[in-house]
Structure 1
Amino acid sequence: MTNGTNRILDEFAKMVTDAAGAAQGVRREFETVFRSQAERLLNSMDLVQREDFEVVREMVIKAREENIALAARVAALEEKIAQMSADKPSSNT
């Protein structure tokens, strides 16, 4: 009797093991399909990749810094021109 019970338990264990393996296969397949659908959705949304965003962000920061420096240079040159104009004697008199 114990031999028959062991055989039934062995068969049951084998069936559970096979079911667990099949469940893992289904899970992997579901993850693959889900990932594929998510990528398709994100691509259709015309989103920017993080690397591209960071590159453009750095370009904007650099351009802003250059713009501030150029504005300071223009202001200094305008002041210098104004001083030169004020120092210049009027030739109309």
Structure 2
Amino acid sequence: MQSENKIIADFVKVANSAAGTLAGMGREARENARERMKEAMGGMDFVSREEFDAVKDMASLAREKVDVLEAKIMALEAKIGSDKD
């Protein structure tokens, strides 16, 4: 009976060791893949999220100013048109 318990205990140790090794290999593979993606993407011209949001806000503000200026031009053109009559 004692020998069966030792065999089971040894098997559990081997299984735990294998599980730890597989988990470590998975982490290492994931880190390597992430590093390779960074290297591959590094040569491309990508912007950060903060830069994108800043430019998006600038474009939105410029659009609002254009809308205001268009309204002013239309008002001036309407005034000029009514003055001719």
- TM-score tier, shorter chain, comes to 0.7 to 0.9
Unaligned runs of 5+ in 1: 88-93
- Cα RMSD (Å) of the superposition? 1.9
Identical amino acids, percent of aligned pairs: 35
SS of 1:48 mapped into structure 2: coil
Q: Is 2:75 aligned against 1:76?
A: yes
Name the TM-score, length of structure 1 as normaliser.
Answer: 0.75
- AA in 2 matched with 1:23: L
- The size of the alignment, in residue pairs, is 85
The 1-side partners of 2:63 and 2:20 are apart by 58
* 2:42 corresponding residue in structure 1: 43
Runs of 4+ in 1 over 4 A off after TM superposition: 81-84
**Where do 5+ consecutive residues of structure 2 fail to align?**
none
- TM-score under structure 2 length normalisation: 0.81
